[in-house]
Chains A and B, each alone.
Chain A
Amino acid sequence: RKEVEQDPGPFNVPEGATVAFNCTYSNSASQSFFWYRQDCRKEPKLLMSVYSSGNEDGRFTAQLNRASQYISLLIRDSKLSDSATYLCVVNGGMTTDSWGKLQFGAGTQVVVTP
């Protein structure tokens, strides 16, 4: 079983619509959670961290559900420029040999159409 699982998509979204997707993680000791964005043929870049209380960054809202071990990302008022693959990223917990390691999901592809 993969440590971080995501629906690969693609999620085809009309411009201006809302899209949401989740990822699940298996390590209950994980402490830090993130969404990275990766454009086609580019490197991943941090989109936002995910906090227990949920957090927003403009049109993006991230939620964490520790009990069910999933993280969600919601994009409101989708723009063409939001087309990308969104990577769910979880750290390995707080032990000294795991703090530096991150587990990446395989990504969810979002395609925003005019």
Chain B
Amino acid sequence: DVKVTQSSRYLVKRTGEKVFLECVQDMDHENMFWYRQDPGLGLRLIYFSYDVKMKEKGDIPEGYSVSREKKERFSLILESASTNQTSMYLCASSLVPLGGGAYNEQFFGPGTRLTVL
């Protein structure tokens, strides 16, 4: 059973704080993703990584950075949290498809609900 875990289910931070969200997957997946989910907007991709130390910007990378030092771990960093970063953050992982270029199922963690005051 694929398991994706996230460090916290609920987090409350103050404006200007540095925030780390950790994600760990136990299935040796190459790809890892960070999304945020807001009502009416769906999931929006922040960053993704297809290999250790590799990262690619998603659709809304501003105000975020990521780190992937080990294959199983993908961290999302808010350098200086702001109230508009209050959201549900979801991490996901997937295998690289055979032959490349096509999609494989993404497995999601339980999410971290972040509130920035």
Contacts and interface: CB of A to CB of B under 8 A. Distances in A.
B110 A107 contact: no
Interface in B37-77: 39-45, 48, 50, 56, 58-59
A97 B40 CA distance: 26
B103 A44 contact: no
A8 B48 contact: no
Interface of B: 31, 33, 35, 39-45, 48, 50, 56, 58-59, 90, 100-103, 105-106, 108-111
**Size class of the contact patch on chain A:** 20 to 34
B103 A45 contact: no
Contacts of A8: 40
**Interface SS, A side:** loop
A43 B111 contact: yes
Nearest to A42: B110
A14 B15 CA distance: 46
Given A43-B111, A94-B101, A96-B101, A102 B42 contact: no
A94 B99 CA distance: 12
A100 B42 contact: no
A32 B42 contact: no
Give 9 nearest A-B pairs by CB, closest first.
Answer: A43-B108, A106-B42, A104-B43, A32-B103, A104-B42, A91-B103, A99-B101, A46-B105, A94-B101
